[in-house]
Amino acid sequence: MLAALAQSRKALPECLPNPPVGCVIIDAQEIVAQGYTQAPGKHHAEADALNQIQAKAFSFLKMYVTLEPCFFHGRTPACALAIAGVAILPSIILTVNVTNITTFSQ
């Protein structure tokens, strides 16, 4: 999770007004992909990381993300649906997304 937090710091200030989110994907104990929120309208942290591992066996990977993945299609596709679509092992989420928009945990 510390690596995901380090990724989130890379998002600032370009990601604003979106929250700075970091994501790492591991295979056993090795980081195989990492990402952070890009400028508005560009990739979120999860999509940034997922794009790096398209040829991997997703079912053996685990994702750590600093904020609950978005569950709505706005300027970018829903991260929660992208994660579910590749069948990554249960994600470890540091903070729940508290907004007025439907979230993954509801």
Q: How many CB atoms lie within 10 A of CB 90?
A: 8
Q: Any idea which residue has 């993954």 for tokens?
A: 104
Helices assigned H by DSSP within 1-106: 2-10, 45-50, 79-86
Choose, from 14, 30, 46, 68, the residue flagged as catalytic.
46
Q: In this structure, is the dihedral angle defined by the CA atoms of residues 46, 96, 38 and 31, taken in order, positive or negative?
A: negative
Half-sphere exposure of 63 (CA within 13 A, CB side): 33
Is there a catalytic annotation at residue 46?
Answer: yes
Residue 38 near residue 17 (C-beta atoms within 8 A): no
- Return the active site residues: 46
